[in-house]
Structure 1
Amino acid sequence: MKITVGIPAYNEEKNIASIIENLSKIADTIIVCNDGSSDNTGRIAEKMGAVVINHERNIGYGGAIRSLFLKARELESDVLVTMDSDGQHRISDVLPVAEPIIKNQADLVIGSRFLEGNQENIPKYRKIGIKMITKLANASLEDAVSDSQSGFRAYSKTVLSAITPSEQGMGVSNEILMKASKNGFKIAEVPIVVSYEGKTSTQHPVSHGVSVTLSTLKFISIEHPLKFYGIPGLIFFGIGLIFTIMTIQGFTETRQILLSAAVIGVGTIIFGTVLLMTSIILYSIVNLVRENSSK
């Protein structure tokens, strides 16, 4: 079975050589996506024997993952393991992460930081953010996961053929999970240990969290428009009816219109109606697109 390791890299000339050297002992092929680095990351990777994809400019983590998927598909890899280039992932975890796919037990495997008590090394702010984003992602997954934001993953040949990531930012991790779940792929998790010593992230945690949350909400709204727009629409419509009834009752008793209740009633009914119509229209469009794409 051909195991390929894919590494998205941006200005990682200090780490990339040692990572490739250690990976060459266990991987059949190593792909490095040099995502617009201004240092020698790409040149070093080429000298070390890796297959290098060079982006002319930095387009983001999601864009790098997309390029790795496409190249692994082109190379007919049986398993693609993705890991970070900043040294926080252990080389020794590569084969355990790939093992469920090798044994035909899973199609996608997440190296989770939250299994078997391995979360002690995770900074508290990251732990809180990861868990919140994971809960949001789990709302659209058939089976809940513990670490939706882990970049240490393994993908089967079937997943590589069926999924082409489109998100260019950090939201690509949740995008792939939601698409995999929609396609009925088996998702598994294995424990990993991550090192957070030194500088291991180039993006501010707040902007990272906001970006991933917005991206996840976007995909949830596309995949489940009736839930995403329809349920809030019903709630607002119901609230509007309550305030409208209160206004009518107040008028029949006092012959005076309570302006605030009337405005709230009419406003929420209109807003709820818009959300309900949006959910129905998007649901129809999404299903029409799916039917056409399956022909």
Structure 2
Amino acid sequence: MTKITAILPAYNEEVSLGSIILNTKKYVDDVIVIDDGSTDNTVEIAQLAGAKVICHSSNKGKGAALKTGFKAAKDSEIIVTIDSDGQHNPEEIPKLLNPIINGKADVVNGSRYINGNKKDTPSYRRIGQTVLDKATNFNSGLDITDSQSGFRAFARHAVPAFRFSCIDFGIESEMLMDAANAGLRIKEVEISVRYDVDGSTKNPISHGVGVLMRVINDLEFQRPLYYFTLPGAIIIIIGVVLGLVFFGDYLGGATKSLAPTVIAIMMTMVGGFLAFTGIILDSMSRMINRVVNDSNYDIHTSDISSTEIKQHGK
């Protein structure tokens, strides 16, 4: 039988955590709560509800909590992540499990908007989420409708693809980009969401800006042609144009100094360096991704041939 573990990152979630754990236990074998430095009764309630609890001594962030949880659940065939604030419905866990159990996906993303259903989302949230979705999709080459969903399922062979380098809420986008780079099969399923129980302790604007900056920063590694080569090409064009103008002025006697021309030449050289750097990094990235994809394919086919996955039930 397939072993399924649910990971619940929790920070001061004493109000909703108990019911989430009890309902989640109906569909999984183990529930692991990562207490991320809570100052309320989160730990006590999680233990009373029957969850295994791992505590961080201080609040390190959701990404750090997920990293701890995935490490603790390394022996599970499928790992489910679900937020602890009550927004997600544990009864929808089978929706996320089925594509993996049936061999149709390596990662399943629970989406609030897969069918364009946006009416329940506060407008200010949806605007920010749309920006993050576009940025994440551009960076990863995916077409995900809910890049910030915390309700997901992962096959065990997919776990090595994740870096867990982001310790905060940017982890949601990072994991999608890592999965895309590793060539994993990603499927979205529709889920519901409740906003009347939103217990987020972080300002949504600062949260969104922080995630966006993280995604943009990842362009350096995910899309070096856009991060280096495109700006470099623009700088080259500007440098060449300015160089011709300044040198023309020098030849025409409008100026007696070649300094502006030299500066324009230096600008062109810097642009060329950036453009060349982007091309080299892009080639290296493609080569690395090809090796990783081949490795993941071998692991995946080995799992299929050696293990018959059966429908989970309790």
Question: Do the structures match in fold with TM over 0.5?
Answer: yes
The answer to whether structure 1 residue 196 and structure 2 residue 178 are counterparts is no
Q: Which amino acid aligns with 2:6?
A: V
Asked if 1 retains the 8 angstrom alpha-carbon contact of 2:231 and 2:274, the reply is: yes
Distance 1:62 1:255, change over 3 A: same
Per-residue CA deviation, residues 2-23 of structure 1 (Å, 9 max, x unaligned), is 2221110000111111111111
Partner letter of residue 117 of structure 1?
A: G
Cα RMSD (Å) of the superposition?
2.9
- Taking the aligned partners of 1:143 and 1:164, their CA distance within structure 2 comes to 18
Give, in whole Å, the separation in 2 of the partners of 1:216 and 1:145. 14
Assess if the C-alpha contact under 8 Å between 1:243 and 1:264 holds in 2: no
Of 199-208 and 182-191, deviating more is 199-208
Decide whether aligned partners of structure 1 residues 64 and 152 sit closer, same or farther in structure 2, where only a CA change above 3 A counts: same
Q: Give the aligned partner of residue 243 of structure 1.
A: 242
Q: Which moved more, 1:27-36 or 1:217-226?
A: 217-226
Q: Which 5+ residue runs of structure 2 have no aligned equivalent?
A: 296-314
- Counterpart of 1:32 in 2: which secondary structure? strand
Q: Which residue of 2 aligns with 1:94?
A: 93
1:182-226 deviation per Cα after TM superposition (whole angstroms, max 9, x unaligned):
111001111111111144321112211221122212322123323
After TM superposition, the score normalised by the length of structure 1 is: 0.88
Separation in 2, partners of 1:259, 1:135 = 45
- Runs of 5+ consecutive residues of structure 1 not aligned to the other structure: none
Deviation at 1:272?
2.0
Paired residues for 1:111-260 under 5 Å: 111-253=110-252, 255-256=254-255
1:221-260 C-alpha deviation (Å, 9 max, x unpaired):
1233233211211111112212222223344445347999
Tell me what 2:39 maps to: 38
Query: d(CA) in 2 for partners of 1:111 and 1:138?
Result: 16
Superposed, 1:33-72 pairs within 5 Å as 33-72=34-73
- CA offset digits 1:269-294 (Å, max 9, x no partner): 35524533553675688789989999
- 1:264-279 to structure 2, matched below 5 A, reads 265=264, 268-269=267-268, 271-276=270-275, 278-279=277-278
Residue number in structure 2 paired with 1:108: 107
Q: CA, structure 1 residues 183+286, in 2 after alignment: closer, same or farther (shift >3 Å)?
A: closer
TM-score by structure 2 length? 0.83
Aligned length: 293
- Range that drifts further, 249-258 or 28-37: 249-258
CA displacement, residues 134-178 of structure 1 (integer Å, 9 cap, x when unaligned)? 111112324321111111111111112443412101111111111
